[in-house]
Chain A
Amino acid sequence: MQASFSPVFGVMKFESEPLSFDNWQRLAWLGIDWLQDAGGFAMVGLSLWLLTTFLNPVYDLLPNGKKRNRLITPLMVLGATVASCIYLIALAAVYLSADDNPTTPRVTVLGLAFTRWGMVLQFSLAAAGLAAIVGFGGPFLRDCFNMRWRRIYALAKLSFKEAVRRRVVWVFLSILILYLFPARWFFQEKPEDEIKSIVGVTTRGMNVLLVSVGMLLAAFSIPTDIKNLTIHTIVTKPVERFEIVLGRFLGYLGLVTAALLVMTGLGLILINAGNVSSEAEDESMKARVAKYGRMEFGKLGANRQLVSSDEFKGVDIGREDTYRKYIAGHPTSPHRAVWNFPSLPTRFEQSDSVPLEFAFDIYRTTKGEEGTGVQVTFEVVTQSWNPGKKIDDSLSPGSEISMQDAYDRDAKGLTNVTPGSPNWVKVNALAERYGRYVYQNWQIFDYHTSRIAVPGGLFRNASTLPESASSTQGPGGSSRRVQVRVKCETPSQFVGVARYDLYFVESEGNFSLNYFKGAVGVWFRLVIAISIAITLSTYFAGVLSFLIAMCLFVLGFFLEFIREFASGANIGGGPLESLARLIKNSNATADLDITPTVRALQMFDGVSRWIWRRVTTVIPDVDRYGLTDYVAQGFSIGPEFLLMNFLTLVAYVLPWLVAAYYLMKVREIAA
């Protein structure tokens, strides 16, 4: 999940669906993508390697007197041959899929629909990638078994010692400048945002400082070793070339990790010891584990039944940012923002109350009364709630009463009761009986996280219902066990909502621990920075390595934009097709006659677009690792989430390290 904190609106945004182990189809596709990407690069690497080592062979003399080029293994040749063949199949698929049109029948694979040839294309690219990876990664893997920790450790320790003796550590002290001055001196903000600012400023400071120092050290280490000839004494020991890369990598990573730990500790002390306002503590000194639902908009129809409606999908109020949709306020408004929770933790059933948190945006069309906010009503129901259903009247046995009337009668005097008050027991019982809980007219003043308590009885009610029943109900047919409906009561005001604006708090974690977990995100970025820099430095000089690494890293923050640019959602086709149009003087939307030439041009464009998209994967997705936003907002960072991010990190870093392995191996140290 990518989160960003928009200073303009002061609201938290979660941009994309979180990666999770639950959604295995998506993960499978990510794996296939990775095979295509990494495999493409492996193929390029493999071809270059075979070419250069064929031209500059190093021979082993075999016992039978024959010579063998020791730089080329049979596995490499095999991998390259198989991959090339499958790439040809892929090319054929590109050609054949040119006939595809929207009516071509689709097949669904792992949750995605493809035309037949489209599917062949996807899987042949992945298979070719796999073959290339096996060929290219084979020698790497084999040499990994020759590596010895003692040597790598010695080299890592050397790097660490060198940095310390060169007094690099002093640079880290400059972070204290950020720590010593309270953030509120720089930012005029609401008091509750104080921790957000401190966390934001300190982690940004740590990021900049640690990433640039780590990158500098890594970029200059091997080139300096080569320049000072100190590397001669090392490679003439039984040291695998890649051990030098790994030793340097681990040494510098160790150094910046130590610095990161100290800085994080200091930051935590600063937040705990510094006199942070109590509003800020309430807002952010938490580590909530949030249970999110799926959001949609609904309309209360006849019989007070909620139906999904095609004409109401939330209002666009004309803000440039379309992240949130709005519902207009009126006491009789039928419009609802609806969150469905298909599954909920069983511990909710055992609780007396479960916190429901929310942070909505407000859009005022009139100034409104001074001192009153916009009022919002929450209705939490299970699917046993059916307002029109006739049930036995408990007060006058034998007669029937509608569920709605029974509820209204029983709920008298129990409006907006809070846990701890004597009536909470009754509220709990009521919720358990009817599967409904209402909180009326909560006042929202500004974008701000608030919470109400939902009685545990409601979840006990939900748990009694069979699973199968739960999957059919709800507007839009989406499954739910529990549904939260939000209604805006104040006329001519709007409330802006998005999926991640409302959630049940599953549990409260420890803020300090979470703060350290947030630092793991910084650490992921450091791993990226150092591995890129070190890989480049096995080929380029220090300055150049540093500059390129820095560029790539910074480009990572614009990755979204670059991807869009590279995927070329441009009318009129790719560069060659456009050229053809230019020559033929046809306009951009008209269909070109599919002559063989045009088809070849389109094919070329398709292939080049594919290649460009792979090229953009060289840029690290650094945004993904901005975990401290969660900390700042008081959300717990789950272990599964960290693991997921770690896997994406490995998937990104591994190809770089393989590149470093080869570059270092062919490097003629003394030339």
Chain B
Amino acid sequence: MSATAVAEQPRTHSTTGSDFIVETRNLTKTYKDFWGRKKKTALNALDLQIKRGEIFGLLGPNGSGKTTTIKLLLGLLFPSNGEATVFGKPAADVRKNERIGYLPEESYLYRFLNAEETLDFYGRLFEMSREQREKKSAELIELVGLKEDRKRTLREYSKGMRQRIGLAQALINDPEFVILDEPTSGLDPMGTIWMKDLIRQLRDQGKTVLMCSHRLDDVQDVCDRIAILFNGDLQELGDVDKLVEDAARVEVRATNVRLTPELKQELEAVITRHGGALESFGHPTTTLEDLFKKVVEESKARPGRRYLPTTGK
């Protein structure tokens, strides 16, 4: 799996006045039943701006209105109040979709098609020529690592494989603005890492990314700015680094020293002298992600079983 295939020259598009890809004003969505009775206000007066070239994360617990926001931006839902513009055009305008790639929460694709046919079909919807479609779909299948399985129907695909073909489908038109609803769901840790790499690459190509997730580590790793929603209300909005920065604490890391009581005493003395207090002292733990990455990489280099269970003979 390499993400280099998407590395193309960033394309320049005419900007429409402002440099905001997405703007919402007072965007509100109330789900109603057939008789117009109110069922649930899923989004309440959201004001949001997404700048060109950033990775924007929508964060929030289940049912907080992330998917609702995305559907409003795509015109899958119509706002109950307020408005949303994408590329300066109303969300209901289908022309804007030419510059958008969308990966739904689940890959809502036709299961009787295989990977190639799927990409060919969506390519046609963008009025791509046959050569363009063939070239692009080969490229994307390679990118998402489904080369071996490209002739199998999607019915036989696993969740993660469907997520991958879903992503390929979202990138078929080389979009300027990519909307990813839970991009890492269903992916294995390697897949997650690959996905995050890819998202960053997309940004490096000058694309704008809107993703939503409730996996905080994912968001923290890739997003430039985030919005946190809770129960349809915007709770927090800003740069990730600023938001998570804990100004009250200081972290020091060092290599090539042994963890001795003397070291601790001396450090503590320095810190107290500066008016602080030592909270913890010890070895940093690596994350499970790092461990997993290491194991997989090593097993790629030397295939075969390594862990031998120590059960009785």
Interface of A toward B, CB cutoff 8 Å: 56, 58-61, 70, 148, 150-151, 153-155, 157-158, 161-162, 165-166, 228-241, 668-671
Contacts and interface: CB of A to CB of B under 8 A. Distances in A.
Contact of A238 (B77, B125, B169): B125
Give the residue among A150, A232, A236, A241 with the most B Cβ atoms within 10 A: A236
Given A151-B127, A161-B113, A668-B77, A229 B104 contact: yes
A239 B94 contact: yes
B292 interface: no
A318 to B, nearest CB: 58
A670 B110 CA distance: 17
A147 to B, nearest CB: 11
Contact of B92 (A70, A229, A230): A70
A232 B104 contact: yes
B194 interface: no
Nearest to A235: B76
B71 A158 contact: no
9 contacts: A56-B78, A58-B79, A155-B125, A235-B76, A237-B97, A237-B173, A238-B125, A239-B125, A668-B78
Given A148-B127, A235-B76, A670 B121 contact: no
Contact of A240 (B94, B108, B124): B94
A230 B77 contact: no
A161 B121 CA distance: 11
Contacts of A59: 83, 90
Interface string B81-119: 001010000101011011010101010111011000100
Contacts of B71: 670
B76 A230 contact: no
B77 A671 contact: yes
A666 to B, nearest CB: 9
Nearest to B85: A61
A155 B31 CA distance: 30
A240 B112 CA distance: 24
Contacts of A236: 74-76, 97, 100, 102
A277 B36 CA distance: 67
Most buried by A among B77, B95, B108: B108
A402 B90 CA distance: 92
A235 B97 CA distance: 9
Nearest to A230: B108
A165 B114 CA distance: 12
Contacts of B92: 58, 70
B153 to A, nearest CB: 8
A103 B92 CA distance: 60
B97 A233 contact: no
Interface string B120-144: 0110111100000000000000000
A232 B108 contact: yes
A70 B75 CA distance: 14
Given A232-B104, A668-B78, A237 B122 contact: yes
Contacts of A241: 94
A158 B127 CA distance: 15
Q: How many residues of B sit at the interface, in one of the four size bands?
A: 20 to 34
B98 A238 contact: yes
B108 A229 contact: yes
Q: Which 8 A-B pairs have the closest CB atoms?
A: A154-B124, A670-B76, A229-B108, A237-B125, A165-B112, A238-B97, A236-B102, A238-B98
Contacts of B94: 235, 238-241
A229 B106 contact: yes
Contacts of A671: 31, 77
Contacts of A155: 125
A166 B75 contact: no
Contact of B125 (A61, A154, A162, A228): A154
Nearest to B78: A668
Contacts of A165: 112
A609 B163 CA distance: 58
A329 B263 CA distance: 135
A58 B75 CA distance: 11
Contacts of A60: 90
B126 A230 contact: no
Nearest to B127: A150
Contacts of B121: 154, 157-158
Contact of B112 (A58, A162, A229, A238): A162
B232 to A, nearest CB: 16
A234 B76 contact: no
A265 to B, nearest CB: 28
A230 B125 contact: no
A58 B78 contact: yes
Contacts of A153: 124
B98 A233 contact: no
Contacts of A161: 112-113, 117
B112 A670 contact: no
Given A59-B90, A60-B90, A161-B112, A233 B124 contact: no
A232 B97 contact: no
B77 A151 contact: no
B245 to A, nearest CB: 36
B124 A150 contact: yes
Contacts of A668: 76-78
Contacts of B102: 232-233, 236
Contact of A233 (B79, B112, B122): B122
Contacts of A237: 97, 122, 125-126, 173
Nearest to B32: A671
Given A58-B92, A165-B112, A228-B108, A233 B169 contact: yes
A45 B112 CA distance: 37
Contacts of B104: 229, 232-233
A223 B43 CA distance: 26
A70 B78 CA distance: 13
Given A58-B78, A229-B104, A238-B126, 17 more contacts: A60-B90, A151-B127, A154-B121, A158-B121, A161-B112, A232-B76, A232-B102, A232-B104, A233-B102, A235-B74, A235-B75, A236-B76, A237-B125, A238-B125, A239-B125, A669-B76, A671-B31
